[in-house]
Amino acid sequence: MSQSKIDTPSHRAARGAAVRAALAARTPWSASARRDSLFLAAGLPFGLPAVMVLNGPHGLVLMYLLLAVVLLDLLTTAQRSRVRALRGVEVPGRVPPEAAWLVRLRAGLTWRQAVHHLVVAPLQALCAGLVLALWGASAVLLGFFGWVWLLPPDNPLRTRPGWAVEGVSATVGGLLLLAATPWLAALFAAVDLWTVRALLGPNRAEVLERRVEHLARSRVDVVDAADAERRRIERDLHDGAQQRLVSLAMNLGLARRTLKHLPPEAMEVITAAHEEAQAAVKELHDLVRGLHPAVLEDRGLDAALSGIAARSPVPVHLTVDLPGRIAPTVEAVAYFTVSEALANAAKHSRASRVDLVLRRSADRLRITITDDGVGGADAGRGSGLTGLRKRAASVDGSFTITSPRGGPTTITMELPCEL
């Protein structure tokens, strides 16, 4: 039953149409045959450097090898251009041309390029020459009677008995070659394209490595863009809404002090509005400082963390050992991470002291936050510690926490100093 459903007349007609299309695509006069032959012919010159090395004098072999190494990128670029122009396939590179020679020699793609240009390219050139020779042989055999009739009547080839039978055999052979050459050209072209993509392009490991590098760069760009957007919002709020609220609070305070003759009800309204404006100024000031504190950009991480420590409800002992400034994005991540960690300690740990240590070792910034609270903090329970872990991971940093029951709690973060 299932076979009868699959093998319906429409399916048979579709299979027949596919077979006819495949046969039509391999006729000698088809566009596919011309494209395959042109693709192979364009690759014929790339086998010449290796042939020169193999057939040259022994004293020049080393020179040819050095020349092949120097022209490695040029030959690879030309091969990729051939594939792109005649097949529409983009073969990406892996090692930047400006990379150091040692890096390029250690890269797997460099050695695959050498194998392709010195071993595979000559074989492909032989295949291309064979296809072109078959096209030429089929043309010569098919034109046997034509060029024989052009010979003088007394030519031995025309007067020899049985030459017509030989001519028929040559014509039949030419027809067979003409029918077989497109299939052979398609096979050689497919193998040629596969070897170019396999040897001149990145392998799967290199593709994954490139993708990881791209994602890492994209993540850094996103973090930088978010930090820049916070800076812009902070400037807009500070220079716009905050200044207007300050001006409003000043005007209401002036009215409260000078308009003594107003009815008590109106004075109560002015007093309430003045107090609300002052509260709004304070909230907006805290919001602006939380977005991106100006002291962080002006004076660096040391001064910004000193301000956090001074405002913390829990006494903070701060130790900073930073020889110089680090990347602005990393400074912002460190600032907000420490700020949130201190807020969590003040809210949940019931600690009486927090030790905050920042040290730079080579290209890593190590942050250690230790409190003498009750402990029991768990980053896996969806608390604010999860946000700290995500902040550190946004710049390829690490985050660890040790918090046994009864304390102490120690948070350790390592962030890259440069991105």
Confidence at residue 63, expressed as pLDDT on a 0 to 100 scale: 47
- Are 299 and 285 in the same domain? no
Residue that terminates a domain, selected from 253, 276, 291: 291
- Are 163 and 37 in the same domain? yes
Residue pair 351/335 in contact (Cβ under 8 Å)? The answer is no
Residue pair 39/87 in contact (Cβ under 8 Å)? The answer is yes
- Are 299 and 216 in the same domain? no
The domain of 254 spans 207-291
Residue that terminates a domain, selected from 260, 291, 322: 291
Tens-digit pLDDT profile for residues 335-366: 888 888 888 888 888 888 999 999 988 788 99
- Are 322 and 407 in the same domain? yes
Tokens of 305: 């963390």
Q: Is the pLDDT of residue 5 over 70?
A: no
Q: Which amino acid is at 162?
A: G
> What mean pLDDT is predicted for residues 295-316?
85
Tell me whether the omega of the peptide bond preceding residue 122 falls within 30 degrees of 0, making it cis. Answer: no
Tens-digit pLDDT profile for residues 250-301: 888 888 888 878 788 888 888 888 888 888 878 777 676 666 677 777 788 8
Q: Which amino acid is at 135?
A: W
Confidence at residue 355, expressed as pLDDT on a 0 to 100 scale: 92
Cβ contacts of residue 329 below 8 Å, gap of 6+?
220, 223, 224, 227, 395, 419
- Are 221 and 260 in the same domain? yes
Confidence at residue 367, expressed as pLDDT on a 0 to 100 scale: 92
CA 80, 185, 50 angle in degrees (round to 5)? 50
- Are 223 and 356 in the same domain? no
Tens-digit pLDDT profile for residues 98-156: 444 444 555 555 677 777 877 888 888 888 889 999 998 888 888 877 777 777 777 66
- Are 6 and 145 in the same domain? yes
CA nearest 357: which of 294, 416, 293, 410? Answer: 410
Cα separation of 183 and 25, whole Å? 9
Tokens of 222: 């996103």
Residue that terminates a domain, selected from 180, 202, 224: 202
Tens-digit pLDDT profile for residues 150-195: 777 776 666 667 667 777 888 888 889 888 899 999 899 999 888 8
Confidence at residue 59, expressed as pLDDT on a 0 to 100 scale: 44
Cβ contacts of residue 280 below 8 Å, gap of 6+?
245, 249
Question: Can you tell me which residue has the tokens 């809404």?
Answer: 241
Structure-model confidence comparison of residues 231 and 375, the more confident one: 375
Q: Based on the structure, what is the number of domains in the chain?
A: 3
Q: Is the pLDDT of residue 61 over 60?
A: no
Least confident of 21-25, 200-204, 265-269: 21-25
- Are 266 and 344 in the same domain? no
